[in-house]
Structure 1
Amino acid sequence: MKLSIVDLSTIKPGETASDALAQSLETARNADALGYHRIWFAEHHMAPAQASHHPELLIAAAGTQTRRIRLGSGAVLMNHYSPFKVAEMFKQLEAMFPGRVDLGMGRATAGPVIDMAMRRHRDAQPVDDHAAQVSETVAWLHQAFPAGHPFAGKPLIPTVASVPESWLLGSSPGGARLAAQIGIGYSFAGFINPQAAALALRGYREAFVATPFASGAPRAMLGVNVCVGEDGEHGRRLALSVKGYYQRLTRIGATAFVPTIAEAEAELGAAERDEPTQIIGGRWPRFVAGSAEEVRQTLEQMIAQSGADELIVQDMMADPQDRRGSHARLAKAFGLSGETPS
C-alpha cells in the first residue's frame, strides 16, 4: 500500500504564512525520509488558515530539498486557468525534477469575490467546462491533439521527453467517470464526502479505459483525514483541532483559523467532540483518529471497501509537530521503509 500526504500549509495560531510555508518544506523533507510515496500541496485563496495558495511554488521549493518523493498539486483549480499555462508549468517542473512530478487537477469555488478576481473576462457568464479543461491539459502534455487542430504539432518543451503524472481529484461520481474516460489516475476526497468514496472509486475502476495518457491501468487514491496518536486517547485528542476547524467553518465561514486543541475543547459541544473516528455501523468517519493500530485497522477497512491502491492523508492539526508526529506513527504502522527523521 502506497502512503502519501496532502499538505495545506496550515498556519499555527500566533504564527505567520512564512512560518507555515517553512513548515511545509520541513514536512516534505520528513515525508521523504519516512518513505512516503508523494506529497501534494493544496491551492487555497484568501484562506487565512492556510498558506498554500500556489502549489507550483511549493513543488519547486520542495524538489530542491528532497531526494525521491513525488511532488504534486492537490489540486490545481482548473476552472480558473488556461490549460496551456497549467500544462506548460508542470512540464517545466518535470524538466526540473524528472520522474517526480504529479499534476493533480480539480475545481472549486472560492466564493464570488475570488472567483470574479481570477476571471479574465468578467462580463461573460461562467460556464462549466471542467471536462474540456482537463482533456485539453492532458492533450497538451501528451501531444494528443487530432490532425487539423490548431494546437496539433506544437509540443511543450520538446527536449524533455518525460511528462508529469496526470490525476483528477474530486468528491463525486462525476469526477470518477471523467478520470476513467480519459484514462488517468483518480483521487477521491474522502474527507469531504466519506459516504460516497467507496462507490466512486469502485465505479472508476469499472469504467476505466486504457489510454496512452498513463500506465494503462487504473490508479485509485483515497484521501482521508488522519490523526495518529501515541495511544488511542492521544490520537482522538489530536483530532479535536481538526474537528474544531470544521466547526468554525460551519459557524463563521472561510475566515476561520485552525484552533489549538485547547481552543477546540472550549468551543466544541459534547456531540462534536465525540464524533466517531472509526467506522461505526458501516458509516465512514470524517476523521480517522486513534492509536497507530486503531487507525491502521480503520484505513485497511476503507481500502478493502473502496479498492484504493493508495492512501493520501490530510491533517489540519494546528501544531506542525503534531502533524509530523502523526506522519511518523502512520508510516511505522504501515511498515514504510524509511528513516526516522531527527
Structure 2
Amino acid sequence: MGEEHAVAAETGPMRYSVVELAPVAPGGTRTAALRRALAAAVEAEQLGYDRIWYAEHHHTVGYASADPVPLIAAAVGRTDRIRVGSGAVLLNHHSAFTVTERFMMLQSMAPGRVDLGIGRSSAGPVVDQALRRDRGSRPVDDFPAQVQEVLGHVHRAFPQGHRFATLDLTRAVDGVPEVWLLGSSVASARLAARLGIGYVFGAHIDPATTQAALDQYRAGFVGTPFGSGAPRAILALHLAAADDEDLAHRLTWPARALRAGGRDRPIPTVAQAAAELGSDERARPSSIRGPVIPPQVAGTAEALREQLEPLVRALGVTEVMVQDMINDVELRSRSREIVAKVLGSIDAPAS
C-alpha cells in the first residue's frame, strides 16, 4: 500500500456505510428483493451505519435496484437518522437537470439526509441505446461536463450569462444533497479533486489502483463551494463476515461465480456457487495480504479488524462503504452486524 500518509494526531471513530444492490435470489422475485433492500435501511440505521446507498443496474436479472430514486424515497420514510442516497446514479444515461430535480425533491422529503452519488457505466450496447433519447447521433463522452452541470444546478453556480443561470432548482428547498463522485480509476479521482467534492473509490472493482487513486485525489484537491472544503474519501470494499472463518470465506463465492459465469442471472447461493467454481477459484484468498486487496474480503470479527485497521490507516480514509452479495437474510444480517462492530471499533485517521 506504499508509505502511510501523514495524518493529524487527532483521530475519530471510523464511519461505515453500505451500498445495497437488492440482489434477487434464485427462484425469488424482484418484489421480495426490494422489500429486503428497504428492510436493509432500517437494519443499517439500527447497526449505526452512517449511510445506505442504492444502486442503478439496468435490465439485470440479478439486481432489482434499477433506479435508486424510488428506493431512496421509500427508505427515508422508514428511517430517522441514516443518510440515504445513490451508489450511483449513472449520469451518462440521464440529463443533469433531471437528476438534480429528482434529488432536490428527495432533499425536500428528508432535509439533511440525502446523498447524490454520481458515476457512469455501460449496461451493454443494446440497453445503452434504449436508454438514450437521441438515437440519431453518436454518443458523446461528456461525463466531466455533466458532473459540473449537476453541481451548477445543485449550488446555483452557473456564471452570469450562462443559458441555465436563470434556472433555480433549489427554490423553497431546505439545503442541498451532498454530491459524491464514485469511480475506480485515477481519472475519476482527479475529477473529484478538481471539483472539490467527496470521492468514493471502488476497491472491489480495481484493487490495484486504490493507493494511486486516493493519492491523486488528495494531492489534487481544490476547495470549492461544492464540497466541505477538505478531501473526503470513502473506500468501498466487498466485505463478508461470519463467526466462522470458513463460512466467511464461502460467503464470497457468489460474487466470484458471477464474475466467472456471467451476471445475467439471479445471485447464486453459496451452494450453487460452490458447484460452479473450480477448486482454485474457491480457494483464492479473501484476506488482505500486505499491499494486495482481494476483490472480496472476508473473515471473522477478529480477522477483519487485523486486516482493515492497518489498511484504513495506510490509505488515510475515514469511512468504509460495504458491498456484499449474500442472499441468505440471516447470514447477510449477521455479516453486516459483524462488519459494523469491527469498523466502529477502529479509530480512523483524521482527514
TM bucket, shorter chain: over 0.9
Tell whether the 8 Å contact from 1:231 to 1:292 is kept in structure 2 after alignment: no
Query: Taking every aligned residue pair, what percent have the same amino acid on both sides?
Result: 48
- Distance apart, 1:297 and its partner CA: 2.1
1:149-171 CA-partner distances (Å, limit 9, x unpaired): 11113211411140000000001
The answer for the alignment partner of 1:339 in structure 2 is none
The answer for the alignment partner of 1:55 in structure 2 is 68
Tell whether the 8 Å contact from 2:21 to 2:63 is kept in structure 1 after alignment: yes
1:282-324 CA-partner distances (Å, limit 9, x unpaired): 2111110011111122222321232222100000122233222
Provide the C-alpha distance between the structure 1 equivalents of 2:329 and 2:216, rounded to a whole number of angstroms.
Answer: 36
The answer for the alignment partner of 1:4 in structure 2 is 17
Task: Choose 104-113 or 240-249, whichever is displaced more.
Answer: 240-249
Provide the C-alpha distance between the structure 2 equivalents of 1:316 and 1:246, rounded to a whole number of angstroms.
Answer: 12
Tell whether the 8 Å contact from 1:12 to 1:320 is kept in structure 2 after alignment: no
The reply to whether residue 275 of structure 1 matches residue 290 of structure 2 is: no
Q: Name the structure, 1 or 2, with higher relative contact order (CA <8 Å, separation 6+).
A: 2
Provide the C-alpha distance between the structure 2 equivalents of 1:217 and 1:259, rounded to a whole number of angstroms.
Answer: 41
1:255-281 CA-partner distances (Å, limit 9, x unpaired): 132111111111111111011111235
Provide the C-alpha distance between the structure 2 equivalents of 1:76 and 1:150, rounded to a whole number of angstroms.
Answer: 24
Provide the C-alpha distance between the structure 2 equivalents of 1:300 and 1:127, rounded to a whole number of angstroms.
Answer: 42
The answer for the alignment partner of 2:297 in structure 1 is 288
The answer for the alignment partner of 2:335 in structure 1 is 326
The reply to whether residue 170 of structure 1 matches residue 183 of structure 2 is: yes
Provide the C-alpha distance between the structure 2 equivalents of 1:161 and 1:256, rounded to a whole number of angstroms.
Answer: 41
Q: How does 1:43-82 map to 2 (within 5 A)?
A: 43-82=56-95
- 2:249 corresponds, among 232, 236, 244, to 236
Provide the C-alpha distance between the structure 2 equivalents of 1:174 and 1:321, rounded to a whole number of angstroms.
Answer: 39
The reply to whether residue 146 of structure 1 matches residue 159 of structure 2 is: yes
Provide the C-alpha distance between the structure 1 equivalents of 2:303 and 2:150, rounded to a whole number of angstroms.
Answer: 41
Task: Choose 168-177 or 306-315, whichever is displaced more.
Answer: 306-315
**Secondary structure at the residue paired with 2:45?**
helix
The two structures have a TM-score, normalised by structure 2, of 0.92
Provide the C-alpha distance between the structure 2 equivalents of 1:166 and 1:281, rounded to a whole number of angstroms.
Answer: 33
C-alpha RMSD over aligned residues? 1.2
Tell whether the 8 Å contact from 1:92 to 1:157 is kept in structure 2 after alignment: no
Structure 1 residue runs without a partner (length 5+): 337-342
Q: How does 1:160-309 map to 2 (within 5 A)?
A: 160-249=173-262, 254-309=263-318
Provide the C-alpha distance between the structure 1 equivalents of 2:301 and 2:258, rounded to a whole number of angstroms.
Answer: 23
Tell whether the 8 Å contact from 2:180 to 2:197 is kept in structure 1 after alignment: yes
The reply to whether residue 108 of structure 1 matches residue 121 of structure 2 is: yes
1:8-32 CA-partner distances (Å, limit 9, x unpaired): 0001111100000000011110001
Provide the C-alpha distance between the structure 1 equivalents of 2:240 and 2:181, rounded to a whole number of angstroms.
Answer: 25
Letter in 2 for 1:135: Q
The answer for the alignment partner of 1:127 in structure 2 is 140
Provide the C-alpha distance between the structure 1 equivalents of 2:61 and 2:139, rounded to a whole number of angstroms.
Answer: 26
Structure 2 residue runs without a partner (length 5+): 1-13, 346-351
Provide the C-alpha distance between the structure 2 equivalents of 1:305 and 1:287, rounded to a whole number of angstroms.
Answer: 19
Structure 1 residue ranges, 4+ long, deviating more than 3 angstroms after superposition: none
- 2:320 corresponds, among 281, 304, 311, to 311
The two structures have a TM-score, normalised by structure 1, of 0.95
1:31-79 CA-partner distances (Å, limit 9, x unpaired): 0111100000000011100000000110000000011000000000000
Provide the C-alpha distance between the structure 2 equivalents of 1:20 and 1:294, rounded to a whole number of angstroms.
Answer: 30
- Distance apart, 1:145 and its partner CA: 0.1
Tell whether the 8 Å contact from 2:111 to 2:174 is kept in structure 1 after alignment: no
Tell whether the 8 Å contact from 1:4 to 1:310 is kept in structure 2 after alignment: yes
Tell whether the 8 Å contact from 1:6 to 1:39 is kept in structure 2 after alignment: yes
The reply to whether residue 37 of structure 1 matches residue 37 of structure 2 is: no
Letter in 2 for 1:104: G
**Secondary structure at the residue paired with 2:251?**
helix
Letter in 1 for 2:99: V
The answer for the alignment partner of 2:9 in structure 1 is none
The reply to whether residue 28 of structure 1 matches residue 41 of structure 2 is: yes
**Secondary structure at the residue paired with 2:104?**
helix
Letter in 2 for 1:316: M
